[in-house]
Every structure is written in structure tokens, then in C-alpha cells.
Amino acid sequence: MSSRETVDFIYEAHERIKPFVHKTPVYTNTTFNNLIGKEAFFKCENLQKTGSFKARGALNTILKLKKSNPNLKGVVAYSSGNHGLATAWASHLAGVKCSVVVPKTTSEFKVTAVQGYGAKVVKCEYDPISRLEACETIATKEGYEIIHTSDHDDVIHGQGTIALEFLQEVPDLDAILVSASGGGMISVFMVEPKGKMAEESLRSGKRLWPNPPQFIDTIAEGLMSQQLGNLTFPIICRLVEKEVFTVGNEDIINGMVFSFRYLKMVIEAAAGATVAAAMSEKLKQMDPGIKKIGVILCGGNIDILKLPWYSSTYQNGPKRFKLF
């Protein structure tokens, strides 16, 4: 698929989902700008339907499926959180049956949220292979369509509507920081947790990850899959800068804490990763021509009673920021 075709599909997805999703706000913060020495614009997908950008891709996919197959029996997704919740919501909206496969370790907070939209929750072992096998079993038994969390053209086009909106709202951005794939015309930088090996794979143009697929050790549950998708990887190689921002758990916590304290925004760890990247020395040392930075706050689904900086692992607590 060419870049022109991809853009056309994103515009179509935008028109399809526009009546049902929020056009999320873009906020700025003087304190943050003073801290990083650049002008940051926060695209607040944490305020999106279901609390994350995943609502866009799930809804675009299910609406297209329902139109092409009015007798659609149902859909199934595997997810530890946001994609499952988004698929449950979109299915409920479209009047389609839905099952969501989650690891046994998934918190009741997330399970209850998925069930709230009428979806059936199926638990599996905590590894990528088990959840895929469980998903395929349900799809075969029930005749359901699988909605992949990212490796699906219609999901990709739905998620791409974020960039479309963002550039309509702030057309002169110099760069965007995302904890996922992105689009062209401006510099798009990927943010990864330690252990994801994204930069090595991007620079080589090859999938260097070990098989079978693994989860990495990160507090950002939405970023724990080590591998990028088979469909998304060539898109990322073509459109995203090869220089990747890598952040550790303490960096992510500091990004979250800054958001809570100064942006007055509840964000999850995956969004904290992009805030951390924007606060990093690496960004300060980059091309001085990069002055206006887009930061996508991808989601806000976090159990407020289990914030990571209260974990015994981080006894020193979050960083105190030197703001001025």
C-alpha cells in the first residue's frame, strides 16, 4: 500500500468514526516549556472514549466489518487493557458480540471495565503465544473476526486519525513523540521502554527480535510487547526517524508525576513514556530547528489506587523537578 493510499484511508476512517469519538483537546503548559526549552503541545487522548486512542482503531475496524458483513457474528481481541476495552466499547456501539482475551494477571479494575460494555472476558497465561492461541480458538469456535491490537490495516488507519486531527489543530509542528507508529511530512520519533530493541531493528531494517514473541519488563503495560507488528514495522521503517527515545521505568514515573502535578492530567505509564522523552536531555541536544513538539498522551487508564511510584521498587519516590 502506497503512502498516498494510506493517507486516503486515514481520511476515510476520520469521517467514519468522527460522529462517535472525541476530537480531543490540545493543551500547552508554560512550566513544561520552560523545563524543556521548547514549545510542547499535548494531544490528550487520555480524554478519548474508553480513556485511550485505541477507541479510534477498534471502532473504525468494527464499523467497516459490520458494513461489509451485516451478519457479523462477533469479534475477539487480545489485550491487557486499552485495546480490549476499546474493542468492547466499539462492539457495544455497533451491536456486535465481543470476547476479550486477557492475561490471568490482569487487574479486576480492567476486567470490570471491559465487562461493563457487555464483552465476555477470557483469561489466559501471561505470554504472547498463549493469548494469541486463546484468541484463535474463540475465533474458530464462535466464527468471530479477530481484531488485532495494531497489526490490522483498519486499526492502523483509525489510529492515524490522531495525527490528522493534531496537524489540523497545530499545523506547524516540527516533530511528534509517540509511543507507537506515526505518519510522514514532519519528524516522528518513537518512544520505547528499555528492552524493546526498536532502534536496532529500525536502523537495520530487519526484525531483530527473538522468537517466540516475548513481553518486556516495563511498568508501561501498553508497551510490553517486545516486537512491532508485521504490518506496522515496514510503515515505521519508512516514516519514522531511526533515532528512538528509550526510557526506563523511573523515567516513565517521572513523566507521569509531572503530568499529575503540573498538567493536572491523569495518564497511564505508556503516556508517561512520551512525557519522559520530551523531558530528556536527548531532546534538548537535538536539532535546534525542532522547536514545536507534539506529545501524544495516548491513554489515561490507570488504577488510581496502584500508582507505580508507591511501589517498594521506587522507595526514593519520584524526581523533584528543577523548573526555573
Most confident of 79-83, 226-230, 318-322: 79-83
- pLDDT-derived band at 126 (thresholds 50, 70, 90) equals confident
- Percent of the chain exceeding pLDDT 90 equals 60
- pLDDT beyond 80 at 230: no
- pLDDT beyond 50 at 185: no
- pLDDT-derived band at 181 (thresholds 50, 70, 90) equals very low
Residue-level pLDDT at 2: 64
Write out pLDDT tens, residues 245-258.
Answer: 989 999 999 999 99
Rounded Cα gap, residues 39 and 36, in angstroms: 8
Residue-level pLDDT at 1: 59
Residue-level pLDDT at 183: 33
What DSSP letter does each residue of 68-114 carry, written as one string?
A: H-TT---EEEE-SSHHHHHHHHHHHHHT--EEEEEETT--HHHHHHH
Which range is least confidently modeled, 243-247, 275-279, 318-322? 318-322
Where are the domains positioned within the chain?
3-51+159-314, 54-146
- pLDDT beyond 50 at 184: no
- pLDDT beyond 60 at 216: yes
Write out pLDDT tens, residues 138-152.
Answer: 999 999 999 998 889
- pLDDT-derived band at 180 (thresholds 50, 70, 90) equals low
State the burial class of residue 78 (Cβ atoms within 10 Å of its Cβ: 0-12, 13-18, 19+).
buried
Write out pLDDT tens, residues 29-50.
Answer: 999 999 999 999 999 999 999 9
Rounded Cα gap, residues 88 and 79, in angstroms: 11
Residue-level pLDDT at 324: 38
Write out pLDDT tens, residues 2-20.
Answer: 667 788 999 999 999 999 9
269-278 helix and 249-258 helix, angle to the nearest 10 degrees: 90
Query: What CATH number belongs to 3-51+159-314?
Result: 3.40.50.1100
Write out pLDDT tens, residues 108-118.
Answer: 888 999 999 99
Q: Tell me if domain 3-51+159-314 and domain 54-146 are identical in fold.
A: yes
Do the strands 26-27 and 39-44 form a parallel or antiparallel pair, or are they unpaired?
antiparallel
CATH of 54-146, one of 3.40.50.1100, 3.40.350.10, 1.10.1660.10, 3.40.50.1860: 3.40.50.1100
Neighbour tally for 110: CB within 10 Å: 22
82-94 helix and 54-68 helix, angle to the nearest 10 degrees: 40
Residue-level pLDDT at 41: 98
- pLDDT beyond 50 at 86: yes
Q: Residues with catalytic annotation?
A: 54, 80
Mean pLDDT of the residues in the chain: 88
Instruction: Tell me what the mean pLDDT of segment 218-232 comes to.
Output: 77
Instruction: Tell me what the mean pLDDT of segment 55-72 comes to.
Output: 96
| Alpha-helical regions (H) of 192-305 | 198-204, 232-239, 249-258, 269-278, 281-284
- pLDDT beyond 90 at 239: no
| Bridge partners, residue 175, by sequence | 187, 293
Which range is least confidently modeled, 191-200, 207-216, 282-291? 207-216
- pLDDT-derived band at 231 (thresholds 50, 70, 90) equals confident
Residue-level pLDDT at 321: 54
- pLDDT-derived band at 101 (thresholds 50, 70, 90) equals very high
Instruction: Tell me what the mean pLDDT of segment 291-320 comes to.
Output: 80
